[in-house]
Amino acid sequence: MTTKLSVTSVKVLDQDEALDFYVNKLGLEKARDVRQGPFRWLTVRFPNDPSVEIFLEEPGPPVHDDATAAQLRELITKGAMSSLVFETDDARGLYETLRTRGVTDFTQEPIDHSYGTDMGIRDPFGNGIRILQPANVRQEH
């Protein structure tokens, strides 16, 4: 029986730019960074949830041939490739923080629902990210 999710991936156009966004904008941390020839196993994770890592996967050799990589890049920039859902303990505070950090690609400003407050952003490449503050999480301030 399978028991848990340990690594998922988001396809990106540039691993360094992705690392900067997910770490310096969203607050994840670098987990692994291993190079093997042209292949770079680069993952990020949440400091308080280190059991799940996100592989920042850049299409290209040796995994993808040039034509496939081009197709993947096309889909990424259409917003049709990868998507993620994160949680936060303060959606509105995060929204302001992200704006301060220069993030402009919001797909949705924070909205209250019965199950919590959510918002939407895109990473620099087009991947959609929903961020939810569950209704039962109290804000710290």
Partner 1 sequence: MNRRLLRARDAMDRAYAEPLDVRSVAAVAHVSPAHFSRSFRAVFGETPGRYLQRRRVERAMFLLRETDRSVTDICFDVGFSSLGTFSRTFRAIVGEAPSAYRVGNGPLVAPNCFQMAATRPWAAAGAATKSSSSGEAATASVP
Measured in whole angstroms, the distance separating CA 26 from the mean position of its chain's CA atoms is 8
Contact 121, 106 (CB under 8 A): yes
68 sits near partner 1 (criterion: CB under 8 A): no
Between residue 82 and residue 101, which ones bind partner 1 under the rule CB under 8 A? Answer: 83-85
Spatial distance between the Cα atoms of 128 and 134, rounded to a whole number of angstroms: 19
120 sits near partner 1 (criterion: CB under 8 A): yes
40 sits near partner 1 (criterion: CB under 8 A): no
Spatial distance between the Cα atoms of 34 and 64, rounded to a whole number of angstroms: 18
23 sits near partner 1 (criterion: CB under 8 A): no
Binding positions for partner 1, rule: CB under 8 A: 74, 77-80, 83-85, 105-109, 111, 113, 115, 118, 120, 122, 125-126, 128, 130, 132
